[in-house]
């Protein structure tokens, strides 16, 4: 292994531990301030952080934590009466973990490798992705208008983008990370509003989303490198 690769691996480990310890530290501080330790949201956040860490590396383990995180996050969004995102986690993200796992197995870099081959979309695929995203957001918004759920606009934006992002992730397209940047920004905004309204799990969910946003930036860099190393 070259000195450059050793340094790169060390940087990745430092970044991974920054995400994990950063999330845990801020979550504990939040719990101390609120004088309430929320086990479900903490477990959901930790599973999701591990999921995105392995996802950014293009490693198969991300689907294990994605499965657990989908169940826990689905419960949290149901509790917050954000029904679009709850349905997304439980009815879409959960089964997509299995589909994604088998699709990524086909794209492993070599025999015994846990890292996948990444790819770029062509222009036609990018245009189609944008059109589908907008159509989903509009359609979901009108569906949510028939419910008594909270934050229907942000919920529709987040749900529509995440449906597309999960699909793009399944086929190992690098563009997923640009979608994650947009998605995590929308999620931070949504939970910030929920925090102001006093929602029980909002603070930890907002902290979790902030670390997801940082990891999305890292994901762009790592996946471009994986593509160049094919």
Residue 67: the pLDDT is 93
Structure-token pair, residue 36: 């309430």
Q: Is 107:99 a contact under the CB 8 Å cutoff?
A: no
Q: Is 149:155 a contact under the CB 8 Å cutoff?
A: yes
3-state secondary structure of 60: coil
**Tens place of pLDDT per residue across the chain (230 aa):** 554 555 566 777 888 888 888 888 877 887 777 777 778 888 888 898 888 888 888 888 889 999 999 999 999 888 888 888 888 889 988 998 998 888 888 877 654 455 678 889 999 999 999 999 999 999 999 988 888 777 888 888 888 998 899 889 888 899 999 998 988 888 888 888 888 888 777 787 788 788 888 888 888 888 888 787 65
For residue 201, give the nearest of 20, 25, 30 by alpha carbon: 30
Q: Is 84:157 a contact under the CB 8 Å cutoff?
A: no
Q: With a threshold of 0.75, does the pTM exceed it?
A: no
Tell me how far apart the alpha carbons of residues 60 and 36 are, in angstroms, rounded to a whole number: 34
State the greatest distance between any 2 C-alpha atoms of the chain, in Å, as a whole number. 59
Tell me how far apart the alpha carbons of residues 180 and 170 are, in angstroms, rounded to a whole number: 13
Residue 225: the pLDDT is 83
């Amino acid at each position: 292994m070259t000195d450059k690769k050793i340094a790169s691996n060390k940087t990745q480990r430092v970044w991974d531990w920054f995400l994990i310890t950063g999330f845990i530290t801020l979550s504990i501080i939040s719990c101390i301030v609120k004088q309430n330790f929320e086990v479900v949201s903490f477990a959901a956040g930790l599973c999701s952080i591990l999921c995105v860490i392995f996802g950014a590396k293009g490693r198969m383990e991300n689907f294990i934590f994605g499965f657990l995180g989908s169940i826990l996050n689905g419960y949290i969004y149901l509790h917050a009466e954000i029904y679009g995102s709850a349905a997304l986690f439980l009815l879409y993200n959960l089964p997509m973990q299995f589909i994604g796992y088998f699709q990524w197995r086909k794209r492993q870099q070599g025999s015994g490798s846990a890292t996948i081959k990444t790819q770029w979309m062509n222009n036609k695929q990018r245009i189609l992705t944008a059109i589908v995203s907008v159509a989903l957001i509009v359609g979901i918004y009108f569906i949510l208008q028939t419910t008594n759920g909270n934050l229907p606009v942000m919920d529709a934006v987040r749900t529509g983008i995440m449906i597309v992002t999960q699909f793009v992730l399944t086929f190992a397209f690098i563009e997923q990370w640009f979608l994650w940047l947009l998605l995590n920004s929308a999620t931070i905004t949504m939970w910030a509003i929920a925090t102001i309204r006093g929602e029980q799990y909002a603070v930890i969910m907002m902290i979790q989303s902030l670390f997801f946003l940082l990891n999305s930036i890292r994901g762009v860099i790592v996946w471009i490198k994986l593509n160049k190393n094919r």
